[in-house]
Amino acid sequence: MHSPPIRRALISVSNKLGLADFARELTEQGVEIFSTGGTRRHLTQEGIQVQDVAHYTGFPEMMDGRVKTLHPKIFAGILCRHDREDDMEALAENRILTFELVVVNLYPFEATISREGVTVEEAVEQIDIGGPSLVRAAAKNHQFTSIVTRPEQYAAVLEEIRTSGSTTFETRRHLAGEAFERTASYDRAISDYFTQSGSDATFPESVHVDYQIKMNLRYGENPHQRAAVYRQLGSCGPSLLTAQQLNGKELSYNNLLDLDSALRIAKSYTDPAAVVVKHNNPCGAAVADDLAAALRAALDGDPVSAFGSVLGFNRTIDVATAEVLAAPGLFIEAIVAPDFQAAAVGVLTTVPKWRDNVRLMQVGRIEESASSMEMRHLMGGMLIQDSDDSVESPDDWQMVTSTQPDDDLWGDLEFGWTIVRHIKSNAIAVCGQRALYGAGAGQMSRVDAVEIAIKKSGSRCQGAVLCSDAFFPFPDSIHRAAEAGIAAIIQPGGSRRDNEVIDACNHFNLPMVFTGRRHFKH
């Protein structure tokens, strides 16, 4: 397959990351660069010689840059078939130059509409017209033209130009595929914005979500399953997909699931919080005045299950916290936190026996984000719902028993009501001193979940609170809680036998709060 030498490049980008070095190398390889507007100014300021597209076409930019590259002298130079004499003659007759390389990334429409308070006018101005046209033209003519749409592609393209003065057909075809995917996802984002803006419908008629591969994983949930992780395009805010890994082995499928759970739980607390996660359920969690104290309390929740766990924090890990983690007898798979002090990284990567393997994930500043949608795949379809991350106020809760909890118990009830929504249903959490003592997770019977949580908590049940993600269908769980020494109960209410459950609590002088909101998690 004929690969024409790359003599000219047309460059017009919004994302300037790495552009100056890329363009400088192109000029060193003898490639003449043409550009427009802000891209041309950026390259000129970097000392790179650039030809002005407006000077070449004889047609100035107009309408605040809305019209720049939409000209036959540009598109003919991109679309010409180098092996067709009539195409080349048409170029010569009209004094049109060929462009063998087109470098374009699009106006940041997705990032713009993700900003809070953005107006329709602001969104409209970020709809790229010339960019997608250039991308599609170059991708269509990939037999002769290379199209680059992402800074991550610069290095590979440069390497081929250094080697042969051109790119291979295989590379051009691959780049064309990525280019068409980019314009398709861009148009989907615009379409979704206009069809959903101002609509009274809770959910859109159709859903388009674009993902880009982040990396292949060694295997999936089990060694016989293949797996990869993808990043959602246009997604904003800190996450594991944008985190920096400071240490450790490559992440596994299960690591990512557990780390995501740990991060979600940790960021749901405002005070310094530490969370211990095993098999996607918290087996330890606590808040305290400082992170090291929170960690000690979280690890005390279920020390046996904490071995080989994943930990999440909502504050920077300092040396004191790192020293708790590095204590003998612990084994930690991975840790996620907003940041790590350099000295803390030094402790974690030199002291414990697992220092070489522990994954340290730095996600940056985390804060409670606005509610979003979550999706679950079914065979042949998908479920979509609001994320269960709304903030609840104790002022809206109902005191349904004659006995009321004291201030300390109220604090534990608030802590426990936050943690129980993150435990698989049927879920019970026994908590005290703003820490999780024991969890009964994923049980088909609620009373069985109560038994497990009480067993895990042991003698710490005395004076603790019991939290249930859904109502008690029978008073048997209340009897068991009272026998164990539980001092207060919180649950949504809503059972046909609520009165029987309330009567049982009153019989044992056991305070109980109804929140009015269920928190099943499947």
What's the confidence (pLDDT) of residue 1?
62
Give residue 350's domain range: 244-362
End-to-end CA distance of the chain: 54
Contact predicate 350/340, CB 8 Å? no
pLDDT tens for each residue of 429-479? 999 999 999 999 999 999 999 999 999 999 999 999 999 999 999 999 999
What's the confidence (pLDDT) of residue 368?
59
Asked whether residue 370 is domain-assigned, the answer is: no
The question of whether 279 is a catalytic residue gets the answer: yes
pLDDT tens for each residue of 72-87? 888 888 988 888 888 8
Same domain, 32 and 108: yes
Same domain, 162 and 273: no
Contact predicate 453/438, CB 8 Å? yes
C-alpha span between 365 and 134 (Å, rounded) = 38
The residue out of 196, 222, 254 marking a domain boundary is: 196
SS (H, E, C) 136-196: HHHHHCCCCCEEECCHHHHHHHHHHHHHHCCCCHHHHHHHHHHHHHHHHHHHHHHHHHHHH
Same domain, 24 and 124: yes
**Buried-state track 443-466, b at ≥16 Cβ within 10 A, e below 16:** beebbebbbbbbebbeebbeebbb
What's the confidence (pLDDT) of residue 202?
72
C-alpha span between 124 and 188 (Å, rounded) = 14
Cβ partners under 8 Å of residue 522, min gap 6: 424, 425
Rounded to two decimals, the pTM is 0.75
Distance from the Cα of residue 252 to its chain's centroid: 16
Residue 137, number of CB atoms within 10 A of its CB: 21
Asked whether residue 236 is domain-assigned, the answer is: no
The residue out of 362, 385, 411 marking a domain boundary is: 362
Q: Which of 140, 174, 214, 249 is catalytic?
A: 140
Asked whether residue 205 is domain-assigned, the answer is: no
Q: Which of 73, 82, 249, 279 is catalytic?
A: 279
Same domain, 358 and 399: no
Residue 516, number of CB atoms within 10 A of its CB: 12
Residue with the two structure tokens 């596994």: 252
Q: 3-state class of 476 per DSSP?
A: helix
Residue with the two structure tokens 């400071």: 246
Asked whether residue 325 is domain-assigned, the answer is: yes
Using DSSP bridges, classify how beta strands 281-287 and 273-278 pair: parallel, antiparallel or unpaired.
antiparallel
**DSSP string covering 301-365:** H-HHHHTTEEEEESS-B-HHHHHHHTSTT--EEEEEES-B-HHHHHHHTTSSTTTTT-EEEE---
C-alpha span between 511 and 518 (Å, rounded) = 19
Same domain, 87 and 146: yes
Q: Is the peptide bond before 426 cis (omega within 30 degrees of 0)?
A: yes
- Could you tell me which of 301, 330, 325, 308 has the C-alpha nearest to residue 441? 301
Can you state the angle between helices 130-140 and 169-196, rounded to 10 degrees?
150
Same domain, 409 and 273: no
Asked whether residue 77 is domain-assigned, the answer is: yes
Same domain, 130 and 53: yes
In the predicted model, residues of the chain with pLDDT beneath 50 are none
Alpha-carbon distances of 220 from 113, 334, 385, rounded to whole Å = 34, 17, 25
The residue out of 181, 196, 211 marking a domain boundary is: 196
What's the confidence (pLDDT) of residue 194?
77
Using DSSP bridges, classify how beta strands 332-337 and 101-104 pair: parallel, antiparallel or unpaired.
unpaired
DSSP class of residue 67 equals B
**CATH for 427:** 3.40.140.20
What's the confidence (pLDDT) of residue 119?
83
Same domain, 400 and 321: no
- Degrees to nearest 5, angle at CA 243 with 238 and 248: 150
C-alpha span between 189 and 208 (Å, rounded) = 8
Same domain, 357 and 399: no
Contact predicate 47/64, CB 8 Å? no
C-alpha span between 511 and 486 (Å, rounded) = 10
Asked whether residue 309 is domain-assigned, the answer is: yes
Q: 3-state class of 385 per DSSP?
A: strand
Q: 3-state class of 363 per DSSP?
A: coil
Same domain, 407 and 335: no
Residue 215 tokens, joined: 């990396």
Asked whether residue 267 is domain-assigned, the answer is: yes
Single-letter code of the amino acid located at 403: T
Same domain, 456 and 402: yes
Contact predicate 336/248, CB 8 Å? no
**Buried-state track 488-515, b at ≥16 Cβ within 10 A, e below 16:** bbbbbbebeebeebbebbbebebbbbbb
The count of domains in the chain is 3
**CATH for 99:** 3.40.50.1380
Same domain, 140 and 21: yes
Single-letter code of the amino acid located at 142: H
Asked whether residue 153 is domain-assigned, the answer is: yes
Residue 118, number of CB atoms within 10 A of its CB: 14
